[in-house]
Amino acid sequence: MSISYNSFCDDFYVDMYINTRFDLPTDRDILLTFFERITKQFPLMTSLLRDNNGYSLEDNEDCGYNRWTSVDVDRVGAGIVNPESFNQALELPKLVIDLVPYILGVRSLDVDYIDLTFGMDFDYAGNHNEIIAEALFAGSAFGNIFDSQGAVVLSLSPAVVIALDDDCSTRIRLTVDSRTDESEVRSRKFEQDKPISLYLTARQYPPSGKEFDPKIAFNRLCQVAIDFMDEKVVPNFVMPLTSAIAHRR
């Protein structure tokens, strides 16, 4: 990775989704062929699960990290938790993008958009709203509201979406997610196992009137997401959050 994101948080994960316009196949043989092809390259991925939305294949519980891929009604996903390197993080998503045209029948015209998400979890057994307010809003217009006498922040999960081109086909969404609810604020008893989460999602829609290649689009999303993390998110969001958490412990 350009920056070792794992070192800044308690858990780091990478998720990729190809969202489709048409429903994906539900035929047993097609799905088994897809998952068996994944298993050939990643032999530890042997846990096949089913839920109301579709099917997923995951690593067995004995490995040190967790890869997964899924086929839902209208999206195919792949990801990994706590990868050891950036190359490892992208191996499975790239394989899935290679396979879906030939096994699941997903063509360029069928792609609605592709999402690549970098997620970070920060363990903190206290008021998440206070940490986010201190780290990200100190000295701002919102910060002045929070500093009002007797003010208690009940909900604070800031999010922003920006477009990176004129036709708005490439977008970045940044979210910092507090999991402190109002009942915890009132009781001053905070759950121990709920982290503060930060999500950076790079999204690519097929540009209107232009040829769209999912492989090229995904590679570009990777670079866009890495650049944004390195230049904007880590110094301006991650570092202030980790510093605020460290001061409260």
Higher pLDDT, 207 or 3: 207
Write out pLDDT tens, residues 65-102: 689 999 999 999 999 999 988 889 999 999 999 999 99
Structure tokens at 199: 């999500």
Write out pLDDT tens, residues 149-166: 777 888 999 999 999 999
Look at residues 125, 86, 84, 103 and name the one whose alpha carbon lies nearest to residue 18: 103
DSSP string for residues in 190-248: --SS--EEEEEEEEEPPPTTS---HHHHHHHHHHHHHHHIIIIIIIIIIHHHHHHHHHH
Q: What percent of the chain has pLDDT over 90?
A: 74
In whole angstroms, what is the distance from residue 28 CA to residue 25 CA?
9
pLDDT of residue 148: 76
What pTM value is reported for the model?
A: 0.93
List, in order of start, the domains of the chain with CATH numbers: 16-106 (3.30.310), 117-249 (no CATH)
pLDDT of residue 223: 95
Structure tokens at 83: 């990868």
Write out pLDDT tens, residues 35-75: 999 999 999 999 999 988 899 999 976 655 689 999 999 99
Q: What percent of the chain has pLDDT over 70?
A: 96
Look at residues 109, 95, 81 and name the one whose alpha carbon lies nearest to residue 42: 95
In whole angstroms, what is the distance from residue 246 CA to residue 236 CA?
16
Counting beta carbons within 10 angstroms of the beta carbon of residue 222, is it exposed (0 to 12), middle (13 to 18) or buried (19 or more)? buried
Strand order in the sheet with 196-204: 45-50, 54-59, 66-72, 75-81, 11-20, 111-122, 196-204, 170-177, 159-163
- Count of Cβ atoms closer than 10 Å to residue 168 Cβ: 12
pLDDT of residue 64: 59
Look at residues 230, 227, 172 and name the one whose alpha carbon lies nearest to residue 202: 172
* Contacts of 8 by beta carbon, 8 Å cutoff, 6+ apart: 120, 234, 238, 239, 242
Give me the mean pLDDT over the 22-27 stretch. 95
- For the chain, how many helices (H) and strands (E)? 7, 9
Give me the mean pLDDT over the 220-235 stretch. 95
